[in-house]
Chains A and B, each alone.
Chain A
Amino acid sequence: MDIGKIDQIIDKYDGEASSLIQILLDIQSENHWLPKEALTRVGEKLNVPMSRIQHITTFYKHFSLSPKGKHEVHVCVGTACHVRGAERILDTVHEVTGVGAGETDPDLNFSVETVSCLGCCALGPVIVVDGEIHGNVEQAETAAVLTELKQAETTEVMQKCACE
């Protein structure tokens, strides 16, 4: 991630150490994960030791210390979705993408996360694929949405190979 961009974010919070979490949230949302260089820069600018930054980034669920896949799949496992069969949806996501909860595939195509309640309980079970909410999903529908994305990725790779 561009150092200038990181500095810009830090400056927005007047370089205050108490804004550490807010700064990391902004970097995470900009870059989708927190690379080591970014954390080092934040530590230097805020005068905060790396041990504290590591504590924060591993304590809060939203932070990721490894790159995320191109497509982010969030499966709601809040109580309302749970009683409406979220576990089975999660199984289907795993079956189709080969990626378990909290994981990313080696090709960086898919990241799968579970979330505890998106507040769309009326639509449960709910999955969010690349920011788009799919409500009242059944296993077949989940599989269809993800298979389409997966096929698109495969085609892209094949085209690339063909070009090269």
Chain B
Amino acid sequence: MSRIKSPAELEAFRKEILAQRDPDKPCITLCSGSACNATGSGKVAAALELEIEKQGVTTEVVSRRTGCHGFCEQGPIVVIYPQGICYLKVQPEDIAEIISETIKKQKIVERLLYVDPNSGERATLEEDIPFYKYQKRLVLGSNRKIDPRSLEDYLAVEGYQAIAKVLFEMTPEQVVGEVKDAKLRGRGGAGFPSGLKWDFARNAPGDQKYVVVNCDEGDPGAYMDRSVMEGNPFAVLEGLMIGAYAIGANEGYIYVRQEYPLAVANLTVAIEKAEEYGLLGKNILGSGFDFTIKVHRGAGAFICGEETSLLNSLEGKAGEPNARPPFPAIRGLWSKPTNINNVETWANIPMIINKGAAFFSAIGTESSKGTKIFSLVGKVNNTGLVEVPMGASLRDIIFKIGGGVPGDKKFKAVQTGGPSGGCLPEDLLDTKVDFDELSQAGAMMGSGGMIVMDEDTCLVDIARYFLAFLSDESCGKCTPCREGIRQMLKILTNMTKGLAKEGDIDLLFELAEATKGSSMCALGKTAPNPVLSTLNHFREEYEAHINEKRCPSLSCKELIAFHIEPEKCKGCGACFRKCPAEAIEGGKKRIHVVVQEKCTKCGGCHEACPAAFDAVKILSGVPVPEATPEEARAIG
């Protein structure tokens, strides 16, 4: 195929692609996102190719390796279209049956279907699985239908329609106006109105301007940007191109973490394909608009998610932030006006242009429009990526879509917004996902990490965990952030070790205020949030750590001890065999005893003890009872 030189040629090419595709022909799609790859998607793909050949159905069936479907808990995932039959946890040995039964005989392979853990009912179709049923997948939706490296696949799902419309039917002002009317807010964390941001860069004086994609998704526990980049890179490229036309830029940069090799690879292929077809480069679609894109890999620094740091890193320097103003819209990359948005923000743009601002702004709440992708992880049954309309409640996301907390454990808190966000307790579960409502509740939207915690999670330890992360990632340029975080971390670490003093809570508040008020960039300004939100909602846990040297969640290692209750021990030896530290004294038909001095508190004995005996107890805040004397250990 040669370069596409006009919108008419683009449409003709699209028609040609669609004409070659029979919508009724079975199409087997296999999720090949990073999580499914980790559970063996590659081997399943090889088996699929082999089996299609072996069973002689090469002409009757199409197979496609797609990006992330989102239901990572159940991978590798196979979906068969046009019906949308969804098979979960598919292994290479299942493939022969899928072909011989489902493809050849239109029969369902029951054992691979989703089973509702509560009702025991099976769901045949993707849309009947509760995890998918309550989602609205406007951005992620295409992921499961297209091969991320195929431009043809992207064209088949209306790809590049928006750029053709923008280049030939809209002025740059109209494009900015459309994004403003859609009331799209940045998906990277702060939620700044994107249209306004574009306007600033558009109106900034200067001939040379830049557009940048921020895919430095460093928030631990969040991976939605990666899935969009891995699964639908063309949508990001198209969105970026639309933004470039709107603000008057001819060069774009995509900043991706090097920890995301598949995203870099798919993106690089997508750019090559787009260049080959003339959808990047000189005179795109004959419009006279030129645009090129370069990919820049990050080298492992959380701070580079902050826009001024990212721009410094793009210039080949250390990723340290600059004071704002001047904002990048005025003085950005190479001191030129630059517009930088997050991956998800860019991926929303083609849809806004195609379907119109009215369509987009009809979804969501008064102040937050459209959908948001969250990575729902931690102590939740259905881990994965969920896309919901703004205004959905946390409760619905965690319990309806996520299926609640595993086992018979009790929900304790949900953490949103990553290291800059906060933890919300059960009585705030009806909070809606909305930029302002989440901030008012003491958390934040952030980029979309949503970590569920149960009764076993210690929130003092969670605050310590986030500050340890931030202390490590603080660039050190400004003192309040560098020292403030370090001092707070010291206090929190002492608390988890039983070394805290009275007055430490007041000191934490004081340090939090100082760090928040005087740090230079968002990393420091938001760093105290995990501490403040846990202090506000779970103060009693802090007090127990300080006053009673007790960890109510029985999680802080230095504050707990393992003890075998002599009257419950049946001498089965399960704990003895499991202990890696040889810290258990046992013997046949003898009461087992934990030798406290040797115990590494790994918890292995607690897990190993049969539920019927329930003899291994975790103690905190109370002295460990004396060990049963040797001569009294015989049972029966």
- What is the interface of chain A, defined by CB distance below 8 A to chain B? 17-22, 24-25, 52, 55-56, 59-63, 77-80, 82-85, 88, 91-92, 95, 115-124, 126, 133, 135, 139-140, 143
Contact = CB atoms under 8 A, between A and B. Distances in A.
B194 to A, nearest CB: 25
Interface in B551-565: none
B223 A62 contact: no
Contacts of A118: 34, 259
Contact of A88 (B302, B383, B602): B602
Contacts, number: 135
Contacts of A116: 218, 220, 302, 469
Nearest to A136: B39
Interface stretch (B170-178, B285-293, B449-457): B449-457
Contact of B219 (A77, A117, A140): A117
Query: Which 4 pairs show the lowest CB-CB distances between chains A and B?
Result: A119-B223, A61-B300, A60-B299, A78-B220
Nearest to A119: B223
Given A21-B316, A63-B299, 12 more contacts: A55-B318, A56-B316, A62-B300, A63-B300, A79-B378, A79-B466, A85-B603, A88-B603, A92-B580, A117-B221, A122-B73, A135-B39
Given A79-B221, A83-B378, A120 B38 contact: yes
B72 A25 contact: no
B375 A121 contact: yes
Given A59-B319, A82-B465, A140-B604, A120 B72 contact: yes
A6 B332 CA distance: 31
B578 interface: yes
B379 interface: yes
A69 B194 CA distance: 46
Nearest to A19: B316
A120 B602 contact: no
Interface residues of B, number: 56
B379 A84 contact: yes
A63 to B, nearest CB: 6
Interface of B: 34-35, 38-39, 72-73, 75, 218-223, 226-227, 258-260, 296-302, 313-320, 375, 377-379, 383-384, 415, 418, 449, 451, 453, 457, 462, 465-466, 469, 475, 578, 580, 600, 602-604
B375 A20 contact: no
B457 A119 contact: no
Nearest to B419: A79
A121 B72 contact: yes
B316 A79 contact: no
B287 to A, nearest CB: 29
A116 B205 CA distance: 40
Given A59-B301, A79-B221, A91-B600, A115 B317 contact: no
A74 to B, nearest CB: 10
Contact of B317 (A56, A122, A124, A139): A56
B606 to A, nearest CB: 12
Determine the main DSSP class of A at the interface with B.
helix
A108 to B, nearest CB: 22
B580 A80 contact: no
Contacts of B296: 21-22
Contacts of A85: 603
Contacts of B227: 119
A143 B418 CA distance: 30
12 contacts: A19-B316, A79-B418, A80-B220, A80-B383, A95-B600, A118-B34, A119-B34, A121-B72, A121-B377, A122-B377, A133-B38, A135-B39
A15 to B, nearest CB: 12
B417 to A, nearest CB: 11
B40 to A, nearest CB: 10
Contacts of B318: 55-56, 59-60
B315 A18 contact: yes
Most chain B CB inside 10 Å of its own CB: which residue of A60, A117, A124, A139? A117
Contacts of B259: 115, 118
Given A121-B375, A121-B383, A79 B39 contact: no
A86 to B, nearest CB: 10
Given A59-B301, A122-B73, A21 B38 contact: no
Given A117-B221, A135-B39, A122 B378 contact: no
Contacts of A121: 35, 72, 221, 223, 375, 377-378, 383
A91 B258 CA distance: 27
Most chain A CB inside 10 Å of its own CB: which residue of B299, B313, B449, B602? B299
A52 B302 CA distance: 20
Nearest to B469: A116
A61 B218 CA distance: 12
A60 B604 contact: no
A121 B318 CA distance: 29
B28 to A, nearest CB: 22
Contacts of B319: 59-60
A135 B73 CA distance: 11
Contacts of B457: 83
A61 B299 contact: yes
Nearest to B451: A79
Most chain A CB inside 10 Å of its own CB: which residue of B218, B300, B457? B300
Most chain B CB inside 10 Å of its own CB: which residue of A115, A118, A122? A122
A63 B258 CA distance: 11
Given A120-B34, A124-B377, A79 B465 contact: yes
A95 B220 contact: no
A24 B318 CA distance: 13
B451 A80 contact: yes
A21 B220 contact: no
A61 B301 contact: yes
A80 B316 contact: no
B605 to A, nearest CB: 12
